[in-house]
Structure 1
Amino acid sequence: MRYRRAIMTGGTYFFTVNLADRASALLVERVDLLREAVRTVKQRHPFGILAWVVLPEHMHTIWSMPDHDADFSRRWMLIKQRFSWAIEQRETISTSRRNKSERGIWQRRFWEHLIRDEHDLACHLDYVHINPVKHGYVTRASDWPYSSIHRYIRQGMLAADWACEPDVAVRRGERF
């Protein structure tokens, strides 16, 4: 069975990309290499980054594709490949992956969703930015260092306390 993706030139897409080892923290440990891989691929194969959050073992991002192009799969393949080449080999590689000259760092597939309208985009932007809170890494989205939320805060599009409930600490019995 062939997996079918929604392809639209100039489309805006939400992605989830996972490491093969979901107990790993490689993405935040080597976020510098990930950023360099993205920067290099983006220079050669342009796309817009509307939002991005990097968590220890997975990431979410929203891209806008160029009007003449919808090949996000190639971009992901190149980003994963560049990142993998820069990482010292310490993972276990299955026979199947070895036969295909693959590393064992990434899950083979990624999940994509074609953004349908402004409401859908707003919901996915919120999802990207709240994700570190959802996973319990921080209590405020703005406290997570590997997130595009900081750009939104600098541009005045979000407040530093976005999505924070002002009385959460009080309800938990904490004192200021």
Structure 2
Amino acid sequence: MKPSPYFADRLRYFFKRFYSPEKLYRWFLDVAGDDSGEFNFPAALQGNPKTVVFLSRDIDKSTAFVKGMPDSFFKNALLCSPDTMQVLVSAKRANAIYYTELECRYGEPAFEELQYKIKDFGPQVCIYLGEVFWPTLYLAKKSGANCRIGFTEEHCFPFLNVCLKPNKMSEAALISQYYGAK
């Protein structure tokens, strides 16, 4: 059995690294805590609220989103990004926090720092572009944002509580229309 990549290499997490997918889901959900407060979708997105965006590890997907969003969106956004995308994010002059593969594991000091920075930012909305990766989904739920939006990953509820499925438009175009950003 292959250990999960979700935990720091410490003795206290050793057995958790061998949990089944269902048990991993339940464990991260229990640790993430209570559900969020109420929100009104899409009204929660009006007025360019404070937004944390978890970029995907897929460079093409993240590039399409960042380039597709208007500059005004980034004035009130914090991007949580793999360190390989620093050039892309800095081109938009967006606020960002970066992490490496090893740092984005539950129990790592850098992971705790990520969590602190995201909560300190105080987002009202969370946009999750990434694939299913329990530590970043945990961070999305712990961000404090009532409205947490994902794309085509319905089984991530309640980590994400809104699932949008862009048919012919990109994720950026879909989000931009709700934000009313130009």
Short-chain TM bin: under 0.3
Larger radius of gyration: 1
Give the alignment's TM-score, normalised by structure 2.
0.25
With normalisation by structure 1, the TM-score equals 0.26
Greater helix proportion: 2
